[in-house]
Structure formats: structure tokens, C-alpha cells
């Protein structure tokens, strides 16, 4: 590589990064300190001209192998000045950084005798006292990048020298010194010298003008600076970001983003500036840089659609044409960033790349990243999962260090989520998790291990694990209690669990519930309640079927007078809680509606969606329905062009449930341009979100066609519904019971169809044809029906008499009703409306009537059905 290319690469970001650990690199130079030739050459520096210096630097920059540089230093040591040594160390790092991690040889350099001699020369110059601060800081920074740890004698001497002169360092030197502490590790990084550095930066913050220097200082101080200083750093970052358009080095802004993540500061304005910057330099980003950006944004819970789409396009562009040429160290990062949002074909290519190119040994951080990627991708490739299981094997038996917990826990989560069925491997994972529970006292670790144990084969919790949970209950947060609750629910519903273990689990369940209620009584604000409930829900999705509902409703009843203090996000969270509880509480929902009208100007688009969704889902119109729905619809129409496609589709569905869908929203959604934007979103969304949104769009299309024919919107989901209808639903136990009684009552199986597809693809539990007198007509002869086997409509052989009724009989279980009443949920009520528009006579059989004490015999069931059908046909 010639000098021009070498200089260009040294200034670029296209360096193959690696997951750098704190690998010690020891040298042999300390045993050679009595070597007189080295001492003489270090102390006696012959005069050299500027041309000679430039010539030496040019030759250093022209080398492509570390041995060439080390030999050159050895052969020209008499001509080397401090600047030459610094340049040589930088060149050593640069050569290695351009290689893939698995071809780097930092350890070989550190153990080389020639490198030991170089360190000896630098140490002699340092001890001679004829060096300045720039020499000390530059060499310390260079050695830290080469991997020399804190036990290295030269690093120690340089560090002590830097600490003594920290007050005399200028801003560039100070930023490089702080960066060195980050390289060396936590021992130096957490040393008292950082307090002095922070104080210096506080007083000289206004003197910093370059974003590179500032970003090094900001990320270096992020863990230790006070909230007030953090705010000053954020303001300074915004000031420098305004003038960084010409800075094409994304690492500088990336450090600011990672510093925000360390500070746990979700400063939206600064994050928006950072997002715009990354969009502007998108072509400069490599895979590892994108990985670090996405990881930091994920931790901050910040989402920017344009930035995510830009990352996706860039990653697709960086996809390798040949698997053999792709750096192995990049594979986990690429799968983590692109796998969850990639089209199916690209996912398969990524799995193939990982299968054939992953090395047999990878570091823990890489392994965790890979496991997270496979879980998010929903990988089902058995060969790839088997290979990854082999990579996990060396980590399963390491249980006592905290860092070793991550691969074990993530392995359990990934292999559970992907359905891996190697029982021997899963048993090893189980034993490792049990051992972790026995040795750790960290509540999050215990909760996560218990959750994994509940899902792994074995079907029980060991006595030691149960005792550990009992012991740690006072220390568990709501999120951890939720995780424990979900685990216990999974185990207690498992019929294979032994009866003795069932009793132990029931006792533990009661103790967990008592702990949750006691904590809930101490909550005093809406914000705290919502944080508690949602953290509990995230870890325990089944919480809505538990004791917690009554306590939440009672809390709301006691604190409705405080709603005026709520922000838009508080209102949205309140609505989310009510939706997930499925409780239709008039007073609470009316108060929510009134508060929403007053706070409408503070609601973001997704907040408004959440609020409207609860009214649509619960099928509830507040007492001021006309005003509330009018304000909501007007707001949506005014902001129509600012609402994301997926949010607008869900808003339209909620308004359709409430029969409040305006023509402006309909025209917007069913434009070709809008549907193309929605397709773009669907291509990068996760599979289950993709399926949910497509189904929601289909339901909106059906509602518009049936309930708003004046809008003149065509039905274009026939092919989609045809594919969905290929899956044959199965009757559950109660439905089979209803079918038997209905068949017997009507006179035979030829008079009843089960799981019928209606026009516009509504699934009906049972269909029959009745005359005005109540006589049944054979289903084979009357009425068109959907032939699942052939995937088409089957025409009837006889026309249905004009006086006959086409009856849809639906069994409504508890999930179709609000939890605290016999009121149908919004989607069930809308389904009934649609069937009636299509000409069906709908007969609903609620679970609370069918399973009541009055209907305890087959004769009582027949009599009940006779009454229902007679009332339906007007007899």
C-alpha cells in the first residue's frame, strides 16, 4: 500500500472494528533494561534534518506488516526522535485495525522481542526527562490501542506522568488522555484522577470548539458527571452539532450518542439533531458503526423512522456478494442490525452466511449479539442453531463471574424462542441456570433465570430455586415480580408438574401476589402507577387475569381528582392500562375522555391512537361522546399528513369500531401512494407486527365496503383472505358441545355447517338455514359457501326461499366481553353488524348463559337453543 492510500485510510472510518476485550499483552523488554546499546541510543539522539525526519515517517507509513516497522525501528534507532516513535506506534495499530478481528495480531506484537526493545527505548526517553506532555499522552494513547494493559511497566510510567501533568494539558491532549482511560479499563477509568479531569472540563467547557475533542471528553465523563454537568454537556453538544455539517467522521457524533445512553438522558432535541446528521453521512457508515448507533438508540427507547429506513438501505447495500470475502467479526453485527427487518430472502442469505462463515470460537459479546439476532429473526434453521449451540458450550460451565451470565441467559432465551429441541443441550442449560440462581443475589438475574427454567423441559422448579425466590421477594422490583408471576403461571398450568411441586408453587404464588398488592398500596401518583403496571405487564402478559385488576381500578377511583396534572403520555398510558384490563368502568372512561379533550394539544399521534383504541376496543361511548369523538376526528384530520401510515391504519380501525370513520381518512388510506408507503413499512417490520397490521388494514377495508358504501372503495383483500382461510380452525370443547346439541335439535349433521367463511371472510362458528316456521333446510342445497380444499366459492344447487333465514350461530367466550360486564367488545360488535349487513340472522350464545346452572342438562340446552333460534326467525 503506497503512502497516499495509507494516509487516506488513516483518516477514514472504514476500519474493521472488533469486540475489544482487555486482553493483556506482556512484553519481554523489562528484562533487557541493562542493555547498554539501547540505553546509549536512547540517550544520545544524533541531530537529524527535517528532510530526514520526513523520510523516516514516509517509510514508516509505507510498511504493510508490523515486523517491517519493528525491524525498521531497530535498524534506525539512532535517528528516531519522540515524534518518530509515536508515528511508528500509530502505524502498528493502523495496520492491525485494517484486518478482520480474527486475523489481527496484537498479541504477537506485544510478545515480540523487537516490540519490547521499542518499549525500552521509549521508557529510557521518559526517564531522561526530556519529553513533553504531547509525547507522554500520544505514546500512552498509542500503547493502549495496541492492547497493553495496566500491568505493563511503560503504560504505568506514562500514566503516572500524565496524571502529574493533567492540569497542564491542553484540550486536545486532555481528550486523548480521557480516551486512553477508556481503552485501559475500569481500574484507571474510575481512579481519582477523573475527578480532577471533570473539574478541569467544567471550567474550560466554553474553550472546547472541536466536536472530536468534546465527544471524547463527554463519553469519558458520562458515568461520573453530575446531573447539572450532564445538562451543560448536552447543551454544549447541541451547540457543536449545529456546526458539524462538514465533519464526515460519524464516530464523533456516535460518541455523543453513546454518552447520552450512559447518562440515561433521552434528550429528544439532541437525538433529532443526531438522527439528521447520521442521515446526512449515511454513505460513510459501516456495519459496526450502524450496530453501535442502533444499540444506543434502542437502549434510549428512541425511534426515528427515516433513520431506520436509511440504516436498512445502507445495510442491504453492504450485504456481501460472496460469503468468503465477508469479515467474520462483522457477522453478529450484521445479523443483529439487518436480520429482524430484512425480507425473507435476505434473512435466508444471512443465515447461510452465519452457518458457513462463523468461526469455531467467538468472544462473549459477539456471542450474545448473535443470540439476540437469532431470537429477533425468529430463526428456525436447525443447522445454524446446532452450530450456535456448539459455540455456547464453552460458556455454559462458567457460572461465577457476572459477565459469564449474559451468554448463558441469552442462550436460554434464544433457544426457547427458536424452538430448539436438543434435549441434552437444553438439560445442560437448565443445570447452568439452576447453578446461577444458587450463587447469585442479584434480583434481575434470579428473575430471568426462573423465567427461563419455567419454559425449559423439566416442568418444575427445584426446591432450592423456590427457597431463593421466597428469600429475595422483598428485593424484587415490579418488573421482576411480573417475570416471576408469569413463570409461576406457566408452571402451574403445566399438567406434567408433580403435585408436591404444585403445592409449593401455589404457596409461592400467593406470597408474590401479597407482595405486589402491598407495593401497590404505596403508590401515590399516576406516573408511578403506570410505570409499575406496565413494567409488571411487560414481564407478565397474563397479569390481566389476576388479582391486580381490582387493585388498579380502586386506585383510579381514589385518584380521579388528580387527572388535570397528567401529561399527554400519562393519558395514553392510562388508556393502555384500561385496554389491557378489559374493564369498562364508566366513571373512569368518562374522566379519561374529558381529560383528553382538555389535553388534546399535548397528545402526539401515537398517544391519540392509544386513547381512541381503548374506547373502540371496549365498545364504549362516553357521556360526552359527540364532543369527544368530534374533537378526536378533527385533530386526526388536521394532522393527517403528519401521521405515520401504520398509526393511521390503526386509528381508522378504532374509528370504524366506533362508527366514527370520516371520509378524509378513508380517502387518504386508500390512495396508491399511501399503500406504497405502508408496503415499505411492512417490508421492514417484524413478522408478527407485519401480520397484525395487514389484518388491521383488511378489517378497515371490509368495514368501509360494508358500512360506508357511499365512499366507493373497492374490496381488494380477496387474495389475502384466501391465503389466510387455508388454515382450518378447530372446534374447542364447548364449541363441540354446542355443535352436538345444535345438530341433534335441527335433525342431523346435514343441517349444520361449522367454521363457515362468510362473504368478506368472516368466520362463523355454525351456519344453518331456517324457514319462518323454524324448520331446517339442508345446507348442501342452499347458500353459497367457501370450499377450503379448493380455495373458491361453491355455488348452491337451489336458491334460498325468500322467507327463509340464513342464521349464523356464534359461541361467545369470556374473551369476547368486557371483564366486568356482559358488554361485547368493539371488534365483536362490529363483526355482528357486518354479518347482519350481509343478510345473516345472528344468534349469539354467551358463555355465561351456556355454562350457567340453569343449563345443566342436554334437554335444557336444546330448549335454550330453540328459544334463541325461534326469537331470531320471529316465531
Compute CA distances 290 → 362, 370, 656, 786, whole Å. Answer: 21, 15, 40, 49
CB 366 within 8 A of CB 329: yes
- Determine the average pLDDT of the residues in 398-423: 80
Coil, helix or strand for 394? helix
Check whether 579 has a pLDDT greater than 70. yes
- Determine the average pLDDT of the residues in 303-330: 86
- Where is average pLDDT lowest: 416-425, 516-525, 709-718? 516-525
Q: At what angle do helices 645-657 and 625-638 cross, to 10 degrees?
A: 160
Check whether 15 has a pLDDT greater than 50. no
- Where is average pLDDT lowest: 176-185, 210-219, 427-436? 176-185
pLDDT reported for residue 685: 67
pLDDT in tens, 174-187: 988 888 877 666 55
Cα(first)–Cα(last) distance of the chain, in Å? 94
Coil, helix or strand for 140? helix
Stated as kind and residue range, the H or E segment containing 756 is strand 753-757
Question: Mean pLDDT across the chain, nearest whole number?
Answer: 82
Enter the C-alpha cell of residue 180: 486512553
Check whether 423 has a pLDDT greater than 60. yes
- Determine the average pLDDT of the residues in 553-563: 86
Stated as kind and residue range, the H or E segment containing 808 is strand 805-812
- Determine the average pLDDT of the residues in 235-258: 89
Enter the C-alpha cell of residue 547: 388479582
In 521-624, where does DSSP find H-type helix?
A: 526-539, 548-559, 568-581, 586-598, 605-618
pLDDT reported for residue 14: 29
pLDDT reported for residue 11: 35
Check whether 9 has a pLDDT greater than 60. no
Coil, helix or strand for 855? coil
pLDDT in tens, 222-240: 888 889 999 999 999 999 9
pLDDT reported for residue 136: 84
pLDDT reported for residue 461: 85
Rounded to whole angstroms, the Cα distance separating 727 from 788 reads 8
CB 443 within 8 A of CB 478: no
pLDDT reported for residue 498: 57
**CA nearest neighbour of 97 among 142, 135, 160:** 142
Banded pLDDT at 35 (limits 50, 70, 90): very low
Categorise residue 754: left if φ over 0, alpha if ψ from -120 to 50, beta otherwise: beta
- Determine the average pLDDT of the residues in 696-707: 95
Q: At what angle do helices 113-128 and 82-97 cross, to 10 degrees?
A: 140
Banded pLDDT at 399 (limits 50, 70, 90): very low
Q: Report angle CA 163, 167, 170 to the nearest 5 degrees.
A: 105
Compute CA distances 541 → 482, 535, 577, whole Å. Answer: 8, 10, 12
CB 526 within 8 A of CB 566: yes
- Determine the average pLDDT of the residues in 338-365: 89
pLDDT reported for residue 18: 32
Longest dimension (CA), the chain: 119
CB 372 within 8 A of CB 336: yes
Rounded to whole angstroms, the Cα distance separating 677 from 694 reads 13
pLDDT in tens, 580-589: 888 899 999 9
Coil, helix or strand for 769? strand
Stated as kind and residue range, the H or E segment containing 777 is strand 776-777
Check whether 414 has a pLDDT greater than 90. yes
Domain boundaries, the chain: 1-191, 205-299, 726-873
In 300-363, where does DSSP find H-type helix?
A: 305-318, 331-338, 344-357
- Determine the average pLDDT of the residues in 660-675: 93
- Determine the average pLDDT of the residues in 658-687: 87
Enter the C-alpha cell of residue 110: 506485544
**CA nearest neighbour of 392 among 423, 429, 434:** 429
- Where is average pLDDT lowest: 5-9, 103-107, 607-611, 744-748? 5-9
Rounded to whole angstroms, the Cα distance separating 29 from 600 reads 71
CB 655 within 8 A of CB 665: yes
Check whether 643 has a pLDDT greater than 80. yes
- Determine the average pLDDT of the residues in 109-125: 74
Helix/strand/coil percentages in the chain, nearest 5:
70, 5, 25
- Where is average pLDDT lowest: 129-138, 327-336, 551-560? 129-138
- Where is average pLDDT lowest: 45-54, 125-134, 176-185? 45-54
**CA nearest neighbour of 680 among 645, 729, 650, 629:** 645
Banded pLDDT at 54 (limits 50, 70, 90): low
Q: Which distant-in-sequence residues (6+ apart) come within 8 Å of 787 by Cβ?
A: 793, 794
Strand partners of residue 843:
809
Considering only residues 116 and 208, tell me which one the structure prediction assigns the higher pLDDT.
208
Strand partners of residue 805:
770
pLDDT reported for residue 194: 84
CB 32 within 8 A of CB 116: yes
**CA nearest neighbour of 466 among 423, 496, 509, 426:** 509
pLDDT in tens, 777-792: 888 788 777 777 677 7
Amino acid at each position: 500500500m503506497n503512502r497516499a492510500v495509507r494516509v487516506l485510510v488513516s483518516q477514514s472510518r472504514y476500519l474493521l472494528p472488533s469486540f475489544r476485550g482487555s486482553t493483556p499483552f506482556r512484553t519481554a523488554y523489562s528484562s533487557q533494561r541493562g542493555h547498554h546499546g539501547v540505553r546509549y541510543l536512547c540517550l544520545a539522539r544524533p541531530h537529524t534534518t527535517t528532510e530526514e525526519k520526513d523520510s523516516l515517517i514516509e517509510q514508516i507509513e509505507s510498511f504493510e506488516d508490523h515486523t517491517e516497522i519493528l525491524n525498521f525501528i531497530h535498524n534506525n534507532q539512532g535517528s528516531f526522535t519522540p515524534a518518530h516513535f509515536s508515528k511508528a506506534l500509530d502505524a502498528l495499530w493502523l495496520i492491525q485495525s485494517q484486518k478482520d478481528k480474527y486475523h489481527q495480531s496484537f498479541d504477537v506484537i506485544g510478545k515480540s522481542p523487537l516490540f519490547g526493545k521499542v518499549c525500552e527505548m521509549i521508557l529510557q526517553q521518559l526517564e531522561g526527562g526530556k519529553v513533553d506532555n504531547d509525547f507522554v499522552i500520544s505514546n500512552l494513547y498509542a500503547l493502549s490501542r495496541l492492547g497493553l494493559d495496566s500491568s505493563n511497566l511503560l503504560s504505568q510510567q506514562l500514566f503516572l506522568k500524565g496524571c502529574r501533568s493533567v492540569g497542564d494539558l491542553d484540550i486536545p491532549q486532555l481528550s486523548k488522555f480521557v480516551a486512553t482511560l477508556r481503552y485501559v479499563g475500569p481500574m484507571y477509568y474510575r481512579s481519582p484522577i477523573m475527578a480532577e479531569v471533570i473539574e478541569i472540563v467544567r471550567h474550560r467547557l466554553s474553550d472546547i470548539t472541536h466536536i472530536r475533542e468534546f465527544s471524547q471528553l463527554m463519553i469519558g465523563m458520562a458515568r461520573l458527571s453530575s446531573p447539572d454537568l450532564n445538562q451543560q454537556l448536552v447543551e454544549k453538544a447541541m451547540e457543536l452539532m449545529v456546526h458539524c455539517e462538514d465533519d464526515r467522521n460519524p464516530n464523533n457524533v456516535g460518541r455523543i450518542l453513546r454518552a447520552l445512553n450512559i447518562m440515561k438522558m433521552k434528550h429528544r432535541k439532541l437525538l433529532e439533531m443526531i438522527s439528521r446528521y447520521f442521515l446526512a453521512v449515511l454513505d460513510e457508515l459501516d456495519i459496526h458503526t450502524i450496530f453501535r448507533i442502533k444499540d444506543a438508540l434502542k437502549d434510549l427507547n428512541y425511534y426515528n423512522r427515516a433513520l431506520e429506513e436509511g440504516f436498512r438501505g445502507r445495510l442491504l447495500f453492504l450485504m456481501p456478494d460472496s460469503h468468503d470475502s465477508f469479515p467474520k467479526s462483522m457477522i453478529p453485527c450484521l445479523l443483529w442490525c439487518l436480520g429482524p427487518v430484512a425480507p425473507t430472502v435476505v434473512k435466508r442469505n444471512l443465515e447461510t452466511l452465519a452457518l458457513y462463515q462463523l468461526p469455531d470460537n467467538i468472544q462473549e459479546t459477539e456471542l450474545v449479539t448473535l443470540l439476540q439476532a437469532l431470537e429477533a429473526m425468529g430463526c428456525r434453521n436447525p443447522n445454524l442453531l446446532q452450530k450456535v449451540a456448539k459455540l455456547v458450550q464453552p460458556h455454559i460451565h462458567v457460572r461465577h463471574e457476572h459477565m459469564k451470565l449474559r451468554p448463558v441467559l441469552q442462550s436460554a432465551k434464544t433457544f426457547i424462542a427458536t424452538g430448539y429441541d436438543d434435549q441434552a443441550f437444553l438439560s445442560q442449560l437448565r443445570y447452568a441456570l439452576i447453578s446461577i440462581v444458587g450463587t447469585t443475589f442479584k434480583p434481575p438475574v434470579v428473575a430471568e433465570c426462573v423465567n427461563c427454567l419455567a419454559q425449559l423441559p423439566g416442568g418444575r422448579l427445584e426446591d432450592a430455586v423456590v427457597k431463593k425466590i421466597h428469600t429475595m421477594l422483598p428485593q424484587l422490583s415490579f418488573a421482576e415480580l411480573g417475570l416471576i408471576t408469569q413463570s409461576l403461571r406457566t408452571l402451574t398450568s403445566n399438567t406434567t408438574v408433580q403435585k408436591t411441586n404444585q403445592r409449593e408453587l401455589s404457596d409461592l404464588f400467593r406470597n408474590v401476589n401479597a407482595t405486589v398488592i402491598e407495593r401497590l398500596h404505596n403508590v401515590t401518583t399516576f406516573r408511578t402507577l403506570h410505570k409499575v403496571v406496565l413494567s409488571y405487564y411487560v414481564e407478565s402478559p397474563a397479569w390481566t387475569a389476576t388479582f391486580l385488576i381490582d387493585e388498579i381500578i380502586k386506585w383510579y377511583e381514589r385518584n380521579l381528582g388528580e387527572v388535570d396534572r397528567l401529561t399527554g403520555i400519562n393519558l395514553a398510558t392510562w388508556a393502555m392500562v384500561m385496554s389491557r384490563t378489559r374493564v369498562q368502568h364508566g366513571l373512569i372512561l368518562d374522566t379519561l375522555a374529558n381529560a383528553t379533550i382538555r389535553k388534546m394539544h399535548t397528545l402526539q399521534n401515537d398517544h391519540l391512537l392509544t386513547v381512541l383504541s381503548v374506547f373502540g376496543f371496549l365498545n364504549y361511548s362516553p357521556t360526552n361522546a359527540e364532543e369527544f369523538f368530534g374533537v378526536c376526528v378533527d385533530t386526526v384530520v388536521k394532522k393527517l399528513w403528519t401521521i405515520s401510515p401504520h398509526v393511521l391504519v390503526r386509528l381508522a380501525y378504532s374509528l370504524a369500531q366506533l362508527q366514527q370513520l370520516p371520509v378524509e381518512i378513508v380517502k387518504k388510506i386508500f390512495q396508491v401512494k399511501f399503500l406504497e408507503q405502508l408496503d415499505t413499512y411492512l417490508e421492514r417490520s417484524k413478522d408478527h407486527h407485519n401480520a397484525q397490521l395487514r389484518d388491521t388494514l383488511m378489517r378497515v377495508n371490509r368495514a368501509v365496503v360494508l358500512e360506508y358504501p357511499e365512499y366507493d372503495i373497492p374490496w381488494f383483500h380477496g387474495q389475502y383472505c384466501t391465503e389466510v382461510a387455508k388454515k382450518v380452525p378447530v372446534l374447542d370443547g364447548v364449541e363441540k358441545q354446542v355443535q352436538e346439541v345444535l345438530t341433534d335439535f335441527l335433525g342431523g349433521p346435514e343441517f349444520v355447517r361449522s367454521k363457515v367463511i362468510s362473504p368478506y371472510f368472516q368466520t362463523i362458528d355454525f351456519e344453518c338455514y331456517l324457514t319462518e316456521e323454524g324448520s331446517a333446510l339442508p345446507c348442501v342445497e342452499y347458500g353459497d359457501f367457501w370450499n377450503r380444499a379448493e380455495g373458491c366459492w361453491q355455488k348452491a344447487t337451489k336458491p334460498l326461499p325468500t322467507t327463509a333465514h340464513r342464521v349464523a350461530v356464534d359461541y361467545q367466550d369470556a374473551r369476547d366481553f368486557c371483564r366486568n360486564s356482559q358488554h361485547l367488545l368493539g371488534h365483536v360488535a362490529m363483526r355482528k353488524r357486518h354479518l347482519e349487513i350481509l343478510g345473516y340472522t345472528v344468534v349469539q350464545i354467551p358463555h355465561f348463559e351456556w355454562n350457567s346452572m340453569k343449563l345443566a342438562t342436554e334437554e335444557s340446552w336444546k330448549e335454550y337453543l330453540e328459544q334463541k333460534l325461534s326469537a331470531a326467525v320471529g316465531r
